[in-house]
Amino acid sequence: MNSKDKVALVTGAASGIGRATVERFSKEGALVVASDLREDVLAQVKSKFPEVHLINGDVTRSEDTHRIVRETEAQFGQLNILVNSAGIVTRNLGTDVDFEEGWDKVIEVNVKGTMLMCHAAVDAMRNHGGGTIVNVGSIMSFGGYPNSLPFSDGFNPYPASKGAVAQMTRDMGVRLIKENIRINAVCPGFVYTRLTKKATEIPEVLEAMVELHPIGRLGRPEEIANVIAFLASDEASFVVGATWMVDGGWAAQ
């Protein structure tokens, strides 16, 4: 796989899978734009990879998504790859957020944010003969939380949001490939990231999470980034509208 000289825009780039993806593309010689709402944390990416271009922005705001794409084009002349890694879970929103606010926020970031970034990027890709988009879904794109985990009473918005990401990927994928815009999703099992930190700090919850994966452990962000890099590469040219599970065997049980 080689993304050398391709322009890659990664959202949710300040940490976790997004940051690992920035690092992977940077090492391959891509021209990387890292975008995140958390400007202070995003600056840490720049300290490690000074060649990466930073753009602060909110994926839930249409004006921001179009600005992020415009600034990417202004910096590098085009946009070849978009990775939608921005995402949230309710347990990280704080105790002052009520049920409805939490539901709305998760749907807004995970679903609307992915859609708005795709919409803005597709316009740019059309102007340059095509491109590729990799959305970050989840194993929760395909089912609810297991009863062994204390994450849901049946009303957690995260599975619904990631189910929507998978379906958007299929719909966009089959429609936009005719314009040489190839769209797929990577759907991880549980990975050690900021989103899972509060859960993995509780020994009994971590044990239950690990038991869901036949491989016997959680994933690492760089393992997901490796698959993202493949799906974004020319080697995956026949992969269209797919939802790739990278889950340590969870779904195969």
pLDDT score at 2 = 76
pLDDT score at 1 = 67
Mean pLDDT of the chain, nearest integer: 96
Residue 203, Cβ neighbours under 10 Å: how many? Answer: 8
Please answer whether residues 184 and 134 qualify as being in contact, where contact means their C-beta atoms are separated by less than 8 angstroms: yes
If we measure between CA atoms, which residue out of 153, 181, 187 comes closest to residue 167?
Answer: 187
pLDDT above 90 as % of the chain: 90
Tokens of 104: 């709305």
Give 182's strand partners: 132
If we measure between CA atoms, which residue out of 43, 40, 41, 33 comes closest to residue 15?
Answer: 41
* Residues in the chain, pLDDT under 50: none
Element (H, E) at 132: strand 131-136
Question: H helices of 82-190, where?
Answer: 99-107, 113-126, 157-176
Q: Which domains does the chain have, with CATH numbers?
A: 7-252 (3.40.50.720)
pLDDT score at 3 = 87
Tokens of 247: 């889950």
Cα 234 to the center of its chain, rounded Å: 20
pLDDT score at 46 = 87
Tell me the C-alpha distance between 227 and 246, whole Å: 8
Residues annotated catalytic, as ranges? 158
| Phi, then psi, of 82 in degrees rounded to 5 | -120, 130
Q: Using one digit for the tens of pLDDT, what is the confidence trace for 163-204?
A: 999 999 999 999 999 999 999 999 999 999 999 999 999 999
**Which residues, 6+ apart, have CB-to-CB distance to 189 below 8 Å?**
139, 212, 213, 218, 219, 245, 246, 247, 248, 250
Q: CA angle 194-199-205, nearest 5°?
A: 150
Tell me the C-alpha distance between 118 and 126, whole Å: 12
In the chain, the amino acid numbered 171 is D
The CA–CA distances, whole Å, from 163 to 30, 48, 107, 221 equal: 30, 34, 11, 21
pLDDT score at 91 = 84
Tell me the C-alpha distance between 67 and 87, whole Å: 19
pTM of this structure: 0.96
Element (H, E) at 74: helix 62-76
**Which residues, 6+ apart, have CB-to-CB distance to 13 below 8 Å?**
19, 21, 22, 34, 35, 36, 42, 45, 85
